[in-house]
Amino acid sequence: MKKGEPNSWQGSTQWRMISREAIRKWNAKRASLPKCGARRKRDGASCMQLAGENGRCYYHGLRTGKGAKYHVHILPNGDAPDFEAKLHRKLRQIERDKKAQAKRRAAMNPEQLAAHQRWHETHTPGPAAARANKRQDRQQAKELRQRIENDKPRPVSPELAELQAQVAALEERRAHYLRLAEEQHQPEDNGVFD
């Protein structure tokens, strides 16, 4: 028996009946499973492939890396016999993706480009914990900016108002005395022939 050929059990009528029943059950179950939420290019309808845990199928984002591999290019296994061919194919794909991305960015208007850059700032590659820390830092900075912008002057107590008035009077007297000192020490200008 050659590899890939069915053995006597797999060629039996009983095997075919078991297989047929399993496929029938799978097809009945498949109709009720969640489908991919992506839109098809050809007609705009929803993709009908089975969705994974992130709501997308194998073609529309199920393979997106998780954790530390989030949106990071995954290179092929170095132990594979066809590693070199896979690596070159992957590198060519990365170059094609970069060119396509540059072309899309060049076609964007300023508002779309700003939105695109904001999205990329919030969706940086790497571990989820690092992204969560950056998100928390941005939120804290936003709250601080709002607090500073909306900061109203505190009501001044009578004692503080009196002290501020005394400080202002002293500063004014100091400036007056500095002007007097400058006037007294200013040399007379007799021109070139002193």
Domain range summary for the chain, segments of one domain joined by +: 11-64
> Is 119 exposed, middle or buried, given 0-12, 13-18 or 19+ CB atoms closer than 10 A?
exposed
pLDDT at residue 98 in the model: 92
pLDDT at residue 143 in the model: 93
Structure tokens given for 23:
């496929």
pLDDT at residue 171 in the model: 95
d(CA 87, CA 105) in angstroms, rounded, equals: 27
Per-residue pLDDT tens listing for the chain (194 residues): 566 677 877 888 898 899 999 999 998 998 889 998 888 888 888 888 998 887 888 888 777 777 777 777 778 888 888 889 999 999 999 999 999 999 999 999 999 999 999 888 877 777 778 878 888 999 999 999 988 888 776 777 888 889 999 999 999 999 999 988 888 876 666 656 55
d(CA 153, CA 161) in angstroms, rounded, equals: 13
* Residue from 104, 77, 75 nearest 92 by CA: 75
Q: What is the per-residue DSSP string for 95-146?
A: HHHHHHHHHHHHT--HHHHHHHHHHHHHS-SS-HHHHHHHHHHHHHHHHHHH
d(CA 12, CA 173) in angstroms, rounded, equals: 113
pLDDT at residue 186 in the model: 66
Q: What share of the chain is helix, strand, coil (3-state, %, to 5)?
A: 55, 0, 40
pLDDT at residue 193 in the model: 59
